[in-house]
Amino acid sequence: MSTSRFADGAAYVRGRFVPMSEATLPVTDWGFTRSDVVYDVVHVFKGGFFRLEDHLDRFEYAMAGRRIRPPEDRDAIRAILHRCVALAGLSDAYVAMVASRGRPRVAGSRRPADCDNHLICYAIPWIDVIPKDVQERGAHVWIASTPRVPDASVDPTMKNYQWNDLTSGLLEAHDEGFDTALLCDAEGFLTEGPGFNVFIVKDGRVSTPDRGALHGITRRSVLELCEELGIEAAVEPIPRAALEDCDEVFLATTAGGVMPASRIGGRILGNDRPGPISARLKQVYWAKHEEGWHRTPVLPLDADEKAAAERAA
């Protein structure tokens, strides 16, 4: 399948499976014009989804919260994700499910209820939010001056495309020569970064913010690992000043797993390398993947699907 037209990834758009290059939206879709969309991302590692049902739970929660109802139900979405990965022939993949408000059926309508909601799914080769070589030396993270959008305005527990504040933080970070950024809220409490949760370590204790952040599936996995390894961990308020006093910082996301940092702003952590607890959690996270932790094998194409894909190649 690697030489097929799906070699760069496979997508499901408007009820059809197409190559990524053909996955398009009308310019009047509210998912594009208003960021009126929710989404989720699950990764595939060595032919298996990681925590697929947890991602589907969170996707359903976000769709319900935003009152976006595509015609496909949970079982259909699950099957579509499997087929996207199988069509692309990917062993390691970044797999997205997206629910968009769509376009109004009534020309010029400003009523969300007048829109035809729809589902988009796609599978593309693995993505690391922080490149692997940067993870090895530890990410250099800028503390952005841009505050996180308030939770009361945009609920961060519903994964969404409102990234203006996060992108502004990234622009700051790159201007200063850093790899990525962390954002605090208007009250000065740590929240998250562009596409990842954050953890700090102080005196052997791990903590992650209780506000302004997605309830990440990798974040949940880290908390489970801490319990398993006997590491004290908490979800709690973290003031910005804690970044000036902590021993370690690491980031966590579906697209990269546990990603240690070695610099926070102008501060060098430890010996300018990933700290011991961060490194231990990263090692165990991937070791448990190898063991099949929370694994759902990707379903192969059946004979008819495979034949159709080969004919289209």
Q: Does residue 182 sit within a domain?
A: yes
Structural domains counted in the chain: 2
Q: Which of 122, 125, 120, 103 is nearest to 112 (CA)?
A: 103
Give the pLDDT of residue 311. 62
Q: How far apart are CA 282 and CA 290, in angstroms?
A: 13
Instruction: Answer whether residue 1 shows pLDDT above 80.
Output: no
Encode pLDDT of 151-182 as tens digits.
Answer: 999 999 999 999 999 999 999 999 999 999 99
> What are the residues facing 94 on neighbouring strands?
43, 124
Instruction: Tell me whether residue 153 is in a domain.
Output: yes
Same domain, 186 and 257: yes
Structure tokens at 244: 């000036």
Taking only the tens place, the pLDDT of each residue in 24-64 is 999 999 999 999 999 999 999 999 999 999 999 999 999 99
Each residue of 233-272: pLDDT tens digit? Answer: 999 999 999 999 999 999 999 999 999 999 999 999 999 9
Residues 172, 109 share a domain: no
Find the domain containing 155 and state its range: 132-274
In this structure, the answer to whether residues 262 and 138 fall within a common structural domain is yes
Separation of alpha carbons 122 and 152, rounded Å: 31
Task: Give the CA distances from residue 108 to residues 32, 69, 103, 163, 208, in Å, rounded to whole numbers and listed in that order.
Answer: 16, 21, 10, 26, 44
The reply to whether 110 falls in a domain is: yes
Q: For residue 29, give the CATH number of its domain.
A: 3.30.470.10
Alpha-carbon distance of 130 to 259, in angstroms, equals 7
The CA–CA distances, whole Å, from 87 to 2, 3, 76, 120, 179 equal 9, 11, 16, 15, 33
Cα separation, 114 vs 39, in Å, equals 21
CATH number at residue 187: 3.20.10.10
Q: What is the pLDDT of residue 4?
A: 82
Phi-psi region for residue 301, left (φ > 0), alpha (ψ -120 to 50) or beta? beta
